[in-house]
Amino acid sequence: MKLIFAGTPEFAAQALQAIIAAGHEVALVLTQPDRPAGRGMTLQPSAVKKVALEHGIEVFQPLTLRDAEAQAKIAAFGAEVMVVAAYGLILPQVVLDMPRFGCINIHGSLLPRWRGAAPIQRALLAGDAETGVCIMQMEAGLDTGPVLLRRAFSIEAVDTTGTLHDRLAALGAGLVVEVLGKLPLPAESQPAEGVTYAHKIEKVEALVDWSRSATELDRHIRAFNPFPGAQALFGGQTVKIWQATPVAGQGEIGVILSVDRHSIVIACGEGALAVSELQKAGGKRLPVQQFLAGHPLKVGERFDRPE
């Protein structure tokens, strides 16, 4: 099948690799413009652009798809379908209508739950029992289109955004290849009930509020791993918490209840959190024993409450 692929991050790059491996003709790749990154803030290509260049596929990086020149370029390829995954630009109706089979999207949630930009983090923060991937026929609304294929799996107690991302990306890559091999497929309209929106994650949300329950904070820490990292405050300094487990315990909120070489136990609004991996600003992620060697913490000391 002759297709156009539109995507930007690693989640999309895995799908592009799978589509190429399945033997489809990817005539054009759309991706976000190169962005400055790293210490030198040099321009870096997206993960999708790297895959496209490795396979000699033409790359197009418009700032918008609303101008006639960009639309004419896309139309000229005569693609049968466009596959979209975490692209980052809105597709106007004229573009959605161009391919014979329209545009299909790989979305990392069980629609209509968690439409929008951050479905993985929002599912973890909400304590969802499962997540999955939907391959959706795109329409003008935000992730409102009918679903061609869906597959679910359980969210485990140790899952982070990072681990879920990898499982969802692999699943999405497999499902989109399956759909491409069966087009045209019947699509199932999304139900009106159960709609939730996965609003974009803001850095300020990463702050740890010890007045919340240990169960909530466990989900919070896993949701912000690997980015931007759950941020606690101690003595006015930021300490990122990367790994923790809810445990029994009670005390004044934010106070350290016990310290040993395996964990630092901190009182929460309900229960306590045994923290086992931390990172001081400018430092490395460290297990508790190594962290304490450079930053001793004592029973009775207290983590700050966010303002």
Domain definitions of the chain by residue range: 2-198, 204-294
Q: Rounded to an integer, what distance in angstroms lies between the CA atom of residue 125 and that of residue 285?
A: 22
Global pTM exceeds 0.85: yes
By the 8 A CB rule, do 286 and 271 touch? no
Instruction: Kindly tell me the burial class for residue 303, based on how many C-beta atoms sit within 10 Å of its own C-beta (0-12, 13-18, 19 or more).
Output: buried
Q: What is the per-residue pLDDT for 306?
A: 79
> Collapsing DSSP states into helix, strand and coil, what is residue 216?
helix
C-alpha–C-alpha distance, residues 143 and 60, integer Å: 24
> In terms of Cα–Cα distance, which of 18, 138, 148 is closest to 89?
138
Residue with tokens 């496209």: 52
Helices (H), 181-224: 214-223
Q: Which residue matches tokens 């962290």?
A: 291
Output the DSSP codes for 97-139.
TSSTT-EEEEESS-TTTTEES-HHHHHHHTT-SEEEEEEEE--
Alpha-carbon gap, residue 61 to 6, rounded angstroms: 10
Superfamily (CATH H level) for 204-294: Formyl transferase, C-terminal domain (3.10.25.10)
What pLDDT, on the 0 to 100 scale, is given for residue 275?
98
Show the DSSP H helices in 250-296 as ranges: 288-294
Tell whether domain 2-198 is in CATH 3.40.50.170. yes
Distance of CA 79 to the CA centre of its chain: 28
pLDDT at residue number 234: 95
pLDDT of residue 289: 96
Q: Please tell me the predicted confidence (pLDDT) of residue 33.
A: 96
DSSP per-residue letters across 128-173: -SEEEEEEEE--SSTT-SPEEEEEEEEPPTT--HHHHHHHHHHHHH
Could you list the mean pLDDT of each consecutive 10-residue stretch along the chain, which spans 307 residues?
96 98 98 89 94 98 96 97 96 97 98 97 98 97 96 98 98 98 96 96 94 98 96 94 97 97 97 97 94 94 89
DSSP letter assigned to residue 92: -
* pLDDT of the residue at 159: 98
